[in-house]
Amino acid sequence: MVTLTEHAATKVRGFLESEPDGESVALRVAVQAGGCSGMRYALFFDDRQLDGDEEAEFHGVRVRVDRMSVPYLLGAVVDWKESLEASGFSIENPNAEHSCACGDSFS
């Protein structure tokens, strides 16, 4: 299962405050085909519970991963990075053999 850092959880909770159904949704972390390296990450709020989902709670934030994405995300850590150039979620994934410069795509 993927892990959410405390810093990332703080950001997610802040985003959820502006969601009308913030208490009923979870952060879904998924892997999809595409991107410059073949696979890309997707993070979004989702109120669905899919068959085979794995769910965990980190620092007060529920995180769901669908069963197809679980093998690609085992041991991955989702963090929030902030710098003068950019801000956003970053994923450190021990399963990624290669990744592109954008950080959103891997193989």
Q: Which pLDDT belongs to residue 44?
A: 95
Say which CATH topology domain 3-100 has.
Hypothetical Protein Aq_1857; Chain: A; (2.60.300)
Q: Is the pLDDT of residue 12 over 70?
A: yes
Task: Give the pLDDT confidence of 18-73 residue by residue, as tens digits.
Answer: 877 767 899 999 998 876 667 889 999 999 999 999 999 999 999 999 999 999 99
Q: Is the pLDDT of residue 100 over 70?
A: no
Q: Which pLDDT belongs to residue 38?
A: 78
Q: Which pLDDT belongs to residue 81?
A: 93
CB neighbours of 60 closer than 8 A, spacing ≥ 6? 9, 13
49, 29, 50: which is closest to 40 by C-alpha? 29
